Every structure is written in structure tokens, then in C-alpha cells.
Chains A and B, each alone.
Chain A
Amino acid sequence: MDERKILESATFPPHVIAEIQRAASEGLYNIRGSGAKRRVPNFDDLVFLGASMSRYPLEGYREACGTDVVIGSRFAKKPIHLDIPITIAGMSFGALGANAKEALGRAATAMGTSTTTGDGGMTEEERAASQTLVYQYLPSRYGMEPDQLRKADAIEVVVGQGAKPGGGGMLLGLKITRRVAKMRTLPQGIDQRSACRHPDWTGPDDLEIKIRELREITDWEKPIYVKVGATRTKYDTMLAVKAGADAIVLDGMQGGTAATQTCFIEDVGIPTLPAVRQAVDALKEMGMHRKVQLIVSGGIRTGSDVAKALAMGADAVSVGMAALMALNCNAPIYEDDYHALGTKAGSCHHCHTGKCPVGVATQDPELEKRLDPERAAQRVKNYLTTLTLECQTLARACGKSHVHNLEPEDMVALTLEAAAMARVPLAGTEWVPGW
């Protein structure tokens, strides 16, 4: 038989057939961690136009290129000052182990940036390790206490996240240890559901009052962010601004999760690239660009991604999955344990199982020992340093003395889709499709 003549179906490739047969066997949707694995238009589809005859570049290693950012200056008495425009995204203690949370806090502190809590509240270790800690205010309110709000440096009201806009959270029983259960006031070992809607407000008019309540309780000191998953981004941004947010956290569909249905991860929400443009459009239309800060997350991996997000108008970015990878997520170590989970290093998305081979997304004390918080923090610090240097390099090449001086005019697109979504010209043309 000549196997070259066997045509694989584009509609039913092997992985689709495997999923149909898994569904036929189990009768239940697939649940996994991580973010969208499908290819979507992204920052790789943009390139910078470095300086040449009409632009002066700045000298690398000699001329300064600022990276600092202030978040929350609209209403908060104590806005936060970050040395770099790269923050650590919200991830819960529960989804992640205590060592991972501590390492992220230490790295963020060393870099002069912020890290963020997640569902289940604030741990003492995380607060102690984090100089600037953003406290997530989530629909479940697991572990949410006013004293923790007051201990935080900023508050992030989570409306949705990029991996699952419109969906709640899920933490399977293996991760609901005694400590996690106590923090969340739940029985140990249950499959814990996090609500998809806030219990005491519905809609932007209510949110405005909720934000005022949070300000009253914290004496108007803390910046208040509103986090949305990227969907109807222009309107969501406008409504969040109207509700009184100091900052918008915009999470595109490439953003990760500890566990949700695969169909949610792959088929709900829009990519980060068009979402950033829509959010910036909304802020500019309201005269609030740079007054209400925009923090972008979802698929930020490199300093190039950071620079491109900033050039499109973001004030900062947030990294979640990539920070976990810096901790060792998907590293080719303990490979037998990946195989035991039915996966391999580089493709693992088994955060939901609680059996993370590298000790990051687990509550198992033995697995957690595989992550030394001090060494892990150093890796994340190195990673954030690299992102910052790359971002500065690109900004200097475009002649900018601060990374926030990057602008859409510094970029062109390599694909029609990216040109239309980012509203920058297709490379080599002056054509912006659809505009």
C-alpha cells in the first residue's frame, strides 16, 4: 500500500476523531487547564518599523529608555508605581501551590512590579513575599475578607477572564486540601464551583455602586481595576470606565485557566490583538486614554509582545501562563510523570488534575517540593528582566525614550487579518483593510 495516497480529512483529522471517540466513551465534555491552543491572529503578525532616514534611534546600553508606569491615578489616593510595565496575572492559591505563589511574589518584588491573588483570598506567604499585591474580588468571594482588601495595594474586580468569558471557575476535588477548603469555607475534597456572576450586583450601574462601596471600605486609597475577558471589548471598556474603574484589565482568549471546558477555552472570546485596539479606541473616544490605565493579558510571551501591546496603546501587560513556564511549567523534567498523566512536556495542560509534575499547579506536598521558591523566583525574575530588555531594545530602535512612547505608527502587519484587527497597514502598503 502506498500510504502517500491516504488522504487525511481536514474536517476530521486524527485529534478530532480521538475527541469524538472520547466523548462517545465518557459522555462528558473535556476539562483541561492552560489557554487556547488554536492559532489565532496575534502579535507575531506585527513587526516594528525601526528608525532609518526619517527617525533617529536611541543608543542601546547608553541612552535611557524608561519603563515605569503609574496605575490608579484617576481616583485612588495611593496609586501604585511600577518599575516595569509587566505584571503577574491573578492566579489562585489552590490552582497553584504555595511555593509557586511565593515565588511569583518574590520575583515581582525584585522587579518592582505587582503580583495578583486569585480565587480563595490572600495567603500570608503571598502578602509577605509581594511588595505590591493586587487583590482579586471575584464572584465566588471565597476567602474574601475586608481586612484583606485593606492589606492589598490595589483591588481587581473580576468580571471575566479570557479563557472563559461568561463562565465560572472550577477546582477539582484533588486540589481542595484541608487548607484550601478552610480558606474557601467548603468541605474538603469536593469539586469546587466558582460562580460566574457576582452575587450582589448585575450590570454596570450596580458595578458603579459596588466600586464606591469598595472605595468606602478602603478609604479611597486603593486603585480599583476591572478585569474583563475579551468579547464585546469596546463596550465593556466604556462601561467599566463609566462604573468608575481606575484601570481596565483586558484578558484575550489566549489567556490561561486552571480548569474549564475545552470548548470554552477554544471557542469563546476574541484574541488579544483586536481586543487591545477596541479597548484603546473606547478609551480615546471617552477622552480617558492614559487616564484610565489599560493592562493587557492573554498570550504575552516575549518582550516583543510587550512592546507591541504598548505600541497599540496599553499601559502595561500581565503574564500568567508565561510566568508559570518560567517557574518550570512544561519543562522537560520528571518526564515519566507527564507520561503517567497521559501527556508530555511542551503540551501539558493538566493543571486541573492537581498532579503537576513540576510542582507548580498542585497542592500535593511531595510534588510541591519540586519547586524551590527561591530558585523559582530567580527564574521568573530573569524572565521578567529579559522581557523588559527586549521591550526597551525595540523602543530604542523606534527612537523612543520611554516604552510608552511606542505608537501604532511604529508597526505594520504581515497578514490581512492582523492589519484589520490592529488597524495598522499591511507591510509594504498603506492599506488598512476594513478602515
Chain B
Amino acid sequence: METLDLAELDIRDVNRRLQGRTGDSDASDFEVLNPLGRHTIAAGINRPINVHIRGHAGYYCAGMNQQAKVTIEGNAGVGVAENMMSGEVRVTGYAGQSAGATGHGGLLVIEGDASGRCGISMKGIDIVVGGSVGSMSAFMAQFGTLVVLGDAGADLGDSIYEARLYVRGSVERLGADCIEKEMRDEHREQLADLLKRAGFDANPDEFRRYGSARQLYNFKVGNIGYY
């Protein structure tokens, strides 16, 4: 495993190495020491490597990730794995706002809680949160899946499109056009698979499914009360 110490290197050097722009291109396992909440660590990787960040990360950690498996051994700041395309990002602690925002693909696992706007405008990413999520999570969520083992804050799935939401705990309030939907076998299978991939031992039967009522897809005067 190659060690990149942010006490000695700056972010630019570390990211260039992780992106394969410098150094031995055959290395596939990296650890990043002394992250100390620095921003944009491991952003823009586009190759199948493993990265272990030993500590807390700041904004946009693993932003726009492609192919890589990035583990943050601590908490992550705003926008962890934002716009991720593929690969896997795991946060062993808590995540700040907008975790997985606009993500197109890949798997984001947050073992603790995630703050507000988790999965905002998600476009295909799968997000599994071991704890709870804050308000306005999955706002305008287009596609992909958000799984919450804990509770969801107010206005979950507001103005949601085709994303699927599974919540085991309570939902403080559903957002506009978000409704509870029937859990069918296909949903239980999808959820079981996601829980397994994320490493959580939980029973899919304990979850409820939420999604779009599809009443706000076209602008109508009659819907004015929603806005």
C-alpha cells in the first residue's frame, strides 16, 4: 500500500497521484494520512484503485468519483461523493450536507448519520445510510435509490422524480409529491441486495418504500397549493 501523507504533501500532489497523473501507475492501494478535514481529497479519480483516508475529510471528498473504492475512516464534510459516476465511497462516521448530490452511479455508504439534502438531485446513484438523514433528503431525486436505516427528516423526497426511497425508521414529513408505495417482492430483493452490498444486516421487511406520485410532472394550475 502506498502512503500519501497530507502533513508533507499538498492536496494537489495527492490528487494527482491518486488520479494516476504521477508516480507508479501499477499501484492500486493507497492510504491518505493526516486529512484533518481538508477539502477535495480524492476528487476526480477515474481508475479502479482502493483509497483509505485515515481520518476526517472536508468538502467534496471523492467528488465525481469513477471506478475507485474510497473509504473515509471518519466523518466527511459537505458533498461527499457528489456527482459520483461509479465505484464505491464509504464513510465510517457521519456525513455533512448534500452527500451523494447529483450522483449518476456507484454506491455511497454512510455508516453514521447524513445531514440535510442527502441524495439531492440524485441521478442514478445508490446511497445507503446506516443512521438517519436530515431534512430535504432526496429533493428532486431523479433516479437511483436512497436507503435509510434510521429516520428521515422533514420533506423527504420533495418534488421527487423516479428515484426509490426505503426508510426503516420514521419519516418526519414527506415532501411535495412524495408518497408511500407498496413494497413488492422486486423491491424487497433490490433492498436486500443493496443492504448486503453496503454491509448492513437488516431485514427488508422492516422498511417502507416511498416514491413519486407523479402529480407534479406537468405544471397545472390545480397544483398551485404544492408550490
In the bound complex, CA of A184 to CA of B64 (Å):
17
Q: Which residues of A contact B19 (CB under 8 A)?
A: 219
In the bound complex, CA of A173 to CA of B21 (Å):
43
Tell me if B70 is interfacial: C-beta within 8 Å of chain A: no
Tell me if A234 is interfacial: C-beta within 8 Å of chain B: no
Check A213–B121 contact: CB distance below 8 A: no
The 3 A-B residue pairs with the shortest CB-CB distance, nearest first, are: A217-B44, A200-B79, A200-B98
Tell me if B221 is interfacial: C-beta within 8 Å of chain A: yes
Binding site for A on B (CB under 8 A): 11-12, 15-16, 19, 21, 39-40, 43-44, 46, 58-60, 63-64, 66, 78-79, 82-83, 85, 97-98, 101-102, 104, 117, 120-121, 123-124, 139-140, 142-143, 159, 161-162, 217-219, 221
- Whether A146 touches B117, Cβ cut-off 8 Å, given contacts A185-B123, A216-B15, is no
Q: How far is the CB of A121 from chain B (nearest CB, A)?
A: 11
Binding site for B on A (CB under 8 A): 26-28, 140-141, 144-147, 149, 172-173, 184-187, 189-191, 193, 195, 199-201, 206, 209-210, 212-213, 216-220
B contact patch SS: loop
Check B120–A219 contact: CB distance below 8 A: no
In the bound complex, CA of A319 to CA of B83 (Å):
30
Q: Which residues of B contact A218 (CB under 8 A)?
A: 44
Q: Which residues of B contact A172 (CB under 8 A)?
A: 219
Q: Which of A173, A189, A216 contacts B40 (CB 8 A)?
A: A216
In the bound complex, CA of A287 to CA of B142 (Å):
44
12 additional A-B residue pairs with CB within 8 Å, beyond A200-B117, A209-B40, A217-B43: A141-B102, A146-B66, A146-B83, A146-B85, A173-B218, A190-B218, A193-B140, A193-B159, A199-B101, A209-B59, A210-B60, A213-B64
Check A212–B120 contact: CB distance below 8 A: no
Closest to B77 in A: A209
Q: Which residues of A contact B46 (CB under 8 A)?
A: 146-147
Q: How far is the CB of A324 from chain B (nearest CB, A)?
A: 25
In the bound complex, CA of A185 to CA of B83 (Å):
13
In the bound complex, CA of A217 to CA of B63 (Å):
8
Q: Which residues of A contact B64 (CB under 8 A)?
A: 146, 149, 213, 217
Check A191–B85 contact: CB distance below 8 A: no
Q: How far is the CB of B130 from chain A (nearest CB, A)?
A: 21
Closest to B96 in A: A200
Check A187–B44 contact: CB distance below 8 A: no
Q: Which of A141, A193, A212, A219 contacts B83 (CB 8 A)?
A: A141
